[in-house]
Amino acid sequence: MITLEDLNPKLLQAQYAVRGPIVQRAQEMEAAGKKVIYCNIGNPQALKQRPLTFLRQALSLLEYPELLDSPRVLETFSRDIVTRVRKALERHPHGTGAYSQSPGIPFIRQAVADFITKRDGIPADRDRIILTDGASKGAQAVLMALLRSSQDGVLIPIPQYPLYSATLALYGGRQIGYYLDEENGWQLDEHILRASVEKAGRAGTRPVAIVVINPGNPTGSVLSRDNIEMIVHFAREHRLSIIADEVYQENVYDRSASFHSFARVMEEMRERDTTLFSLHSVSKGFLGECGHRGGYLEIRNVPEEVNAQFIKLQSISLCANVSGQFATYFMVAPPEPGEESYPLYVREREAILAALKRKAEILGEGVNRIPGMSLDKPQGAMYGFVRFELPPEQGIDPLSLPPEDRKMYEAGRDEAYCMALLEQTGICVVPGSGFGQRAGTLHFRTTFLPPQEEIEDLVQKLKVFHEHYTRTLQEA
């Protein structure tokens, strides 16, 4: 039998906190009959968000096309959905059970290109779009392709969604962390970016790309247009490709903020020399179809032979799952006004987005009322990155520790805090150290996806727990 020593050390090194030991403990508690509020992961339908009727009707017909010929089909399915699925099957007669072309079904890639053109008012080319198994696979393909040597590094935000750090660990690339500016709504700061690149250079690291997550996970922030322009200038100056993770583009709640795609900003800047990889997904927004594993990667500003390599890479695993490709199709080509399914589609979409906005407000306002806790009210995405203070521990001065030891010590503190929160309240959140955080600060990430009453309950329980936890530390 093989042991851990037989495994690829890069796998052993990769960390993915969102499903780490705290979640394992939560599952044990649940199995023992305790109520757990899962706020650890952006998995909307696991937290009672209902799927859109339109999307599920369309997918059902696609999976079982015999229904299209049933004389009673219109008793259950909207007429426009029946017509749409018939047309889709005329264009793709093999249905969902056969492999598709490697980059994805051509008419769906065209629909994605049309969606980008409609969203941004810019041209888009279906041959620069690859349909992927969720955004994760798109991000991994890009990182895989860009890392040429063990000296190559990628700028990733701190805090960041751990897909990026874990994938860099798997592929043997170096992480070049850049701090997001908590005091400035978690925007990117040019001085910090410069300092990160210079530090990487001193360590012999060659930066090849920058990852930007907008709207942000775990921060819930939305980047301003000016900030994006600054990032594009910076990437150009340092010859970095941009990996724009835009999976939360529909999740913007704050009226003062808007989503600006990198594709659009770069097009408006007439930027032709910097390569852009942008990612989108069916998992987030108001669809929340995480289980369908659909998404796309759009590539801009690369020569044809480079594009061909990305298609080859995709072809090595044949193609993205075909049901996920169709879920992506229904995301980018939703019902139109005048169609039978349109009014319900709009009602469901608006209800989901309005509930998310309300819950972001309840979380933001509630947390900021707790002494010793603060939160930049989430403008977008599905998360709040809550900062909390703990009294110093007797006999320990973290400032006297070497940086790595201090990091470990602080990670231990926020993990212990989150584990105690779980044990005492049933609330499952992820320690800030799983995403990265500035030395001397402590955070946890929580989603605001559970139903409103559970978010209200969560805020109450947090307050009681935090007071009790800090008092116990003071008395120790």
Ligand X SMILES: Cc1ncc(COP(=O)(O)O)c(C=O)c1O
Between 57 and 217, CB nearer to ligand X: 217
Tell me which of 213, 240, 411, 455 binds ligand X, using CB under 6 A: 213
Between 207 and 294, CB nearer to ligand X: 294
Minimum Å gap between C-beta 62 and ligand X is 20
Listing DSSP states for 199-212 in one string gives HHHHTT-EEEEEEE
Between 165 and 425, CB nearer to ligand X: 165
Between 96 and 249, CB nearer to ligand X: 249
Q: What is the DSSP letter of 248?
A: T
Between 19 and 238, CB nearer to ligand X: 19
Minimum Å gap between C-beta 142 and ligand X is 12
Site string for ligand X, 295-334 (x = CB under 6 A): x---------------------------------------
Q: Which residues from 97-156 bind ligand X, rule CB under 6 A?
A: 134-136
Cα-based torsion angle of the residue sequence 247, 252, 253, 255 in order, rounded to the nearest 10 degrees: 180
Q: What is the DSSP letter of 103?
A: T
C-alpha–C-alpha distance, residues 41 and 33, integer Å: 21
Q: Which residues from 40-79 bind ligand X, rule CB under 6 A?
A: 42
The two structure tokens encoding residue 246: 């835009």
Of 376, 356, 430, 433, nearest to 41 by C-alpha is 430
Asked if 112 and 140 count as a contact pair (C-beta separation under 8 A), the reply is no
Minimum Å gap between C-beta 189 and ligand X is 20
Q: Does 283 contact ligand X by CB under 6 A?
A: yes
The two structure tokens encoding residue 265: 């900003």
Q: Does 459 contact ligand X by CB under 6 A?
A: no
Helices (H), 203-297: 225-237, 262-268
> Other CB atoms closer than 10 Å to residue 409's CB: what's the count?
13
Minimum Å gap between C-beta 363 and ligand X is 17
Q: Does 161 contact ligand X by CB under 6 A?
A: yes
C-alpha–C-alpha distance, residues 361 and 367, integer Å: 10
Between 278 and 281, CB nearer to ligand X: 281
Minimum Å gap between C-beta 170 and ligand X is 15
Minimum Å gap between C-beta 166 and ligand X is 12
Q: In the bound complex, which residue of the shown chain has the CB atom lying closest to ligand X?
A: 134
Distances (CA, A) of 110 to 114, 133, 247: 6, 18, 19
Give the binding-site size for ligand X (rule: CB under 6 A): 14
Asked if 216 and 252 count as a contact pair (C-beta separation under 8 A), the reply is no
Between 134 and 436, CB nearer to ligand X: 134
Asked if 246 and 278 count as a contact pair (C-beta separation under 8 A), the reply is yes
Q: Does 447 contact ligand X by CB under 6 A?
A: no
Minimum Å gap between C-beta 132 and ligand X is 8
Q: Does 246 contact ligand X by CB under 6 A?
A: no
Tell me which of 82, 129, 290, 352 binds ligand X, using CB under 6 A: 290
Cα torsion 263, 258, 180, 407: sign: negative
Q: Are strands 427-428 and 37-38 parallel, antiparallel or unpaired?
A: parallel
Could you give the 3-state DSSP secondary structure of residue 245?
Answer: strand
Minimum Å gap between C-beta 249 and ligand X is 11
Query: Which residues does 225 contact at the CB level (< 8 Å), separation at least 6?
Result: 260, 265
Minimum Å gap between C-beta 41 and ligand X is 7
Q: Does 430 contact ligand X by CB under 6 A?
A: no
Asked if 153 and 412 count as a contact pair (C-beta separation under 8 A), the reply is no
C-alpha–C-alpha distance, residues 381 and 383, integer Å: 6
- Is it true that the peptide bond before 51 is cis, omega within 30 degrees of 0? no
Q: Does 352 contact ligand X by CB under 6 A?
A: no
Tell me which of 26, 62, 82, 163 binds ligand X, using CB under 6 A: 163
Q: Does 422 contact ligand X by CB under 6 A?
A: no
Minimum Å gap between C-beta 446 and ligand X is 14
Q: Does 217 contact ligand X by CB under 6 A?
A: yes
Minimum Å gap between C-beta 460 and ligand X is 27
Q: Where are the beta strands (DSSP E) in 186-288?
A: 206-213, 241-245, 276-281
Binding site for ligand X (CB under 6 A): 42, 134-136, 161, 163, 213, 217, 245, 247, 281, 283, 290, 295
